[in-house]
Structure 1
Amino acid sequence: MEEKKRAGRNRTITLTDTEKQTLKNRLITITEANTVVEPAVPEPGRRSETTTVLDKTINADLLTALPYLPNEFADLIIIDPPYNLRKNFNGKVFTARDEESYEEYLMSWFPQVCRKLKPTGSLYMCGDWKCTAALQRAMESELTVLNRITWQREKGRGAKANWKNGMEDIWFGVKDPDNYYFDVEAVKQKRRVIAPYREDGKPKDWEESEEGNFRLTCPSNFWDDISVPFWSMPENTDHPTQKPEKLYAKLILASSRPGDVIFDPFLGSGTASVVAKKLGRHWCGIELNEEYCMLAEKRLELAETDKDIQGYSDGVFWERNSAALYKK
């Protein structure tokens, strides 16, 4: 990755040559992954082969790596695949294609990824407006779709002859709509009360404090409280499509329990693994680019001592630009 000139206050995570030597040794390559086999029913007292890939970053092509991962080992899968547009991922260019070809690309790996999901598991897949219809069809071919989340991405280029693209989608599906995990209490949002209502002079469904009036609200499928990583945030990397830790924290807290396994087949710079670690889950990620894998490992190392997730504190999610309140 080409070295950039950065301002003194820039907090973007980078790698030194010395760090690369150390971090590279932590990666599982496809040669090492050959030791991973489909688990038989483990004998009493024996560990399942699933433990071989737990808390690991696998540096390999997705289709090459998938056969070496145990089926039905993941409680939650989060997928952020290349969108149907031209994007340079540290020298590997993904090129936009017609919708039929993009859908064929999705189906070349999506059914195999779904086989890694437990019967009671959940799966989220990210996309933008251009590819969201193809994502829906892919999801419906293997899972029961329960919802589509739309989140406001405030960053983005303006457009002179079109509307600025400020939204992205996340499709939510499960294997068994009658048996899956969802914890709405874990993902409530603390919002300011603009017009507080009182009953017998006391706050109704909200609380008064020195910082202001707030209400805990159940989350909807529209999220307007997400900040995309940028240079002054300690989670930021040079990955061109890095997802915010706060975004993935919502998915992980809602659809997994502590100790569950989170799998990301397009790991990028490691957001899914890092957030899983910060929230007490196991993780496994596959990423083709070696440098992105090493960034993921560095972020996992930093998470040993820094469990903070911007916008999440005291068990609730806060509105954007509320740090001055929850960091008191």
Structure 2
Amino acid sequence: MDAIITDPPYGINYVSQTGAKIKNDKSPFIWFLYDAFRVLKSGESGRGSLVCFTRWDVQQTFIDAMKLAGFQVKSEVIWDKVFHGMGDTKAAFAPSHENIIFAVKGKFSFPGHRPKDLVTFQKINSSQMVHPTEKPVGLLANLITSVTKPGGLILDPFAGSGSTLVAAKKTGRRFIGVELDDDYYQIAQRRVEEAVE
């Protein structure tokens, strides 16, 4: 694998406005990180990187687990979602960003120019989402092209509705996606088939 680009369950018991839940979201789902490290390229065989979405209150848990798995944590990337979400509207600042951890296996260098750690892409309107934590394809395409070359192999072990896979296809990368939920698997399969490079 050249890169693992994923949005695992944060461990926050997420429930959307429509009542949709995320499987395995009782505690930060860090258990994939050892296998993620194992399957990534490193050294002479290529550059291996991990781009992992998280949230401020569980971010350190993911960082610690990445280090224990063998990763070098290199950067925090901030996704500016332009519009804010809900949450506690009376006693918490309106959340308008998400945290992304960038980590590498072995020696890594960007395939092109050095990307900035603030990426602005408008979040998907909740009425248009097919998955409760769906990310914009444009955001994922930006991340993919920042860390891989065309033809590179991307893994998303929490594929959801397939946004990362669609972005990989549109940017000329190969991809593997894994999804536990049968309904989202079917949606992801359809979206990938409909995507045009």
TM tier relative to shorter chain:
0.7 to 0.9
Which residue number corresponds to residue 139 of structure 2?
247
Deviation at 1:84, TM superposition (A): 2.3
* SS in structure 1 at match of 2:189: helix
Moved over 2 A (4+): 87-97
Alignment of 1:175 onto 2:102: no
Query: Which runs of structure 2 are paired with 1:1-328 in the superposition (5 Å)?
Result: 74-88=1-15, 93-97=23-27, 102=28, 105-106=29-30, 108-119=31-42, 120-141=47-68, 142-153=70-81, 154-157=83-86, 159-176=89-106, 179-185=107-113, 219-223=115-119, 225-230=120-125, 236-304=128-196, 307=197
Structure 2, unmatched stretches of 5+, are none
Q: So what's the TM-score if we normalise by structure 1?
A: 0.53
Task: Pick the structure with greater CA Rg.
Answer: 1
1:144–1:173 CA contact under 8 A, matched in 2: yes
* SS in structure 1 at match of 2:175: strand
Q: Which amino acid aligns with 1:83?
A: Y
For the residues of structure 1 that align with 2:152 and 2:24, how far apart are their CA atoms?
32
Give percent identity, aligned residues only. Answer: 33
Deviation at 1:88, TM superposition (A): 4.9
1:77–1:123 CA contact under 8 A, matched in 2: yes
CA shift digits 1:95-125 (9 cap, x unpaired): 545xxxx3xx41x321122211111211111
Aligned CA distance change for structure 1 residues 93 and 255 (closer, same or farther; 3 Å) = closer
CA shift digits 1:158-188 (9 cap, x unpaired): 6211212222111111111xx3241344xxx
For the residues of structure 2 that align with 1:254 and 1:263, how far apart are their CA atoms?
15
Q: So what's the TM-score if we normalise by structure 2?
A: 0.85
- RMSD, aligned α-carbons: 2.2
CA shift digits 1:45-104 (9 cap, x unpaired): xxxxxxxxxxxxxxxxxxxxxxxxxxxxx111112111121125956654545xxxx3xx
Which of the pair is proportionally richer in strand?
Answer: 1
For the residues of structure 1 that align with 2:61 and 2:71, how far apart are their CA atoms?
14
Structure 1, unmatched stretches of 5+, are 1-73, 186-217, 308-328
2:74–2:104 CA contact under 8 A, matched in 1: yes
The count of aligned residue pairs is 187
Deviation at 1:150, TM superposition (A): 1.1
Aligned CA distance change for structure 1 residues 254 and 222 (closer, same or farther; 3 Å) = same
2:121–2:139 CA contact under 8 A, matched in 1: yes
Deviation at 1:276, TM superposition (A): 0.6
* SS in structure 2 at match of 1:84: coil
* SS in structure 1 at match of 2:41: strand
